[in-house]
């Protein structure tokens, strides 16, 4: 008999289908604008100026033994330190910009400047110097500071008042409908009472028109 041949085990593996990653919804960031670019440029200039101080010569002066025995390692450490510090500063700058809402506030500042320029051009005499803010009376300054806040509060109160008026109108309609229903029920009860009174009167007249009842003969 021929020796039994070993069976070959075939591993049938179903190919894995690539899992689809859920798409992330990104929030729409405000338009950076020129001030954001200027701030980023100032950070880059300051960071480069500071990182230039960590040059290879200065690094080697701090670690002379390593610079002589392992210059390649020292250069690698210096390069990684510069890259690490640059990344940390950039991330911290982006975090501060997001936490403080710098872009939105800079855009608001640009809007205020543009609004001031438009009002200056719309003035009767644009060439005349504007009134200095410190010479304005206190009520004018107070009104200028409180007007935006008061306008926002007034719009909110107007919306709440409109909602309250609409709710009151709906309640009044419900009350009117309930009152009409109560009047209809009361009218039905009064009609039923009149019908009962009429039936009683009719029964009384019918009873009077009937002959008197004769008494039964007594049994002996």
Q: What stretch of H or E contains 81?
A: helix 71-99
pLDDT of 25 > 70? The answer is no
Cα–Cα dist 55/134, whole Å:
51
Let me know the angle formed at the C-alpha of 198 by 193 and 203, rounded to the nearest 5 degrees. Answer: 125
pLDDT single digits (tens) 121-148? 877 776 777 778 788 898 888 888 888 8
- Phi-psi bin for 33: left (phi > 0), alpha (psi -120 to 50), beta? left
pLDDT single digits (tens) 159-191? 999 999 999 999 999 999 999 999 999 999 999
Cα–Cα dist 59/75, whole Å:
8
> Would you place residue 48 in the very low, low, confident or very high pLDDT band (cuts 50, 70, 90)?
confident
Listed by start position, the domains of the chain span 33-121, 159-205
pTM of the model: 0.40
């Amino acid at each position: 008999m021929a020796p039994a041949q070993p069976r070959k085990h075939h591993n049938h593996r179903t190919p894995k289908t690539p899992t689809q990653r859920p798409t992330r919804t990104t929030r729409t960031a405000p338009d950076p604008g020129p001030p954001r670019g200027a701030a980023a440029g100032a950070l880059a200039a300051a960071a480069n100026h500071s990182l230039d101080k960590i040059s290879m010569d200065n690094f080697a002066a701090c670690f002379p033994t390593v610079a002589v025995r392992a210059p390649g390692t020292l250069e690698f450490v210096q390069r990684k330190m510069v890259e690490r510090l640059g990344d940390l500063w950039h991330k911290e700058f982006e975090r501060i910009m997001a936490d403080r809402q710098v872009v939105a506030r800079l855009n608001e500042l640009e809007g205020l400047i543009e609004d001031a320029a438009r009002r200056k051009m719309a003035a009767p005499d644009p060439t005349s110097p504007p009134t200095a803010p410190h010479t304005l009376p206190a009520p004018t300054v107070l009104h200028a500071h409180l007007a935006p806040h008061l306008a926002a509060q007034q719009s909110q109160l107007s919306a709440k008042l409109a909602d309250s008026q609409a709710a009151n109108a709906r309640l009044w309609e419900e009350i009117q409908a309930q009152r009409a229903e109560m009047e209809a029920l009361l009218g039905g009860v009064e009609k039923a009472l009149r019908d009962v009174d009429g039936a009683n009167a009719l029964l009384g007249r019918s009873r009077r028109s009937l002959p008197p009842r004769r008494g039964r003969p007594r049994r002996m």
